[in-house]
Amino acid sequence: MTDPALLFREEALRSREPRPPPGGAVRASPAWIARAYQAVLILVAAGLAAAALIRVGQVARGPAVVRGGTVEAVVPAVFASELHSGMPLQLTLPGRRPVTVRVTATGPQVADATAAASLLRTPVTEAGPAPGALLVVRATGPPRVAGTASGTASIQLGSQPLIVTLVAGLVSGDASG
């Protein structure tokens, strides 16, 4: 019988070394797998801790009109139960620094941006109010503005952990989808 080393090239003989079958398991060292698993666990734990510690503010925002010394704004009506007199309202007018004023009254609730525009006697679509029912919020005004000025009102309602916001978003996303 002939020696296989004489019949085949060295590369062909090396290719006969055992290999994993196609679709078979990839061989990895157990130490590498353990380190990768630990790294994934550490990243998941860090993400959960950050999501529990980072707080996200809840803000009611909408278009505002300043007429005389009074600010009138419309915000989504879903915030009606959380809004009350005395809360700070940040008013931003084009070309001016934001000013903080105090909410003096809330209401009435209006059906949409068209009704709000009629009530405020000015277009409110520029600041993009949220679709749906809106609530009118009144506040004592900033330094006097000549005529009528339009801008944006923001009212900080509170904050909650990021993970609560994410879970609530997932739950509401599942309900609508």
pLDDT by residue (tens digit) across 68-95? 778 888 888 888 888 888 888 888 888 8
| Alpha-carbon gap, residue 176 to 168, rounded angstroms | 12
Largest separation between any pair of C-alpha atoms in the chain:
111
pLDDT by residue (tens digit) across 17-76? 666 666 666 666 778 888 999 999 999 999 999 999 999 888 888 888 888 778 888 888
pTM: 0.57
Q: What is the number of alpha carbons within 13 Å of residue 108 lying toward its C-beta?
A: 8
- Res. 130: pLDDT tops 60: no
Residue-level pLDDT at 43: 97
* Percent of the chain residues past pLDDT 90, beyond the cut: 11
Long-range interactions of 114-121: CB distance < 8 A, separation 24+: 116/63, 116/74, 120/65, 120/72, 120/74, 121/65
Ordered structural domains, the chain, with CATH: 57-162 (2.40.30.170)
| Tokens of residue 132, six digits | 């749906």
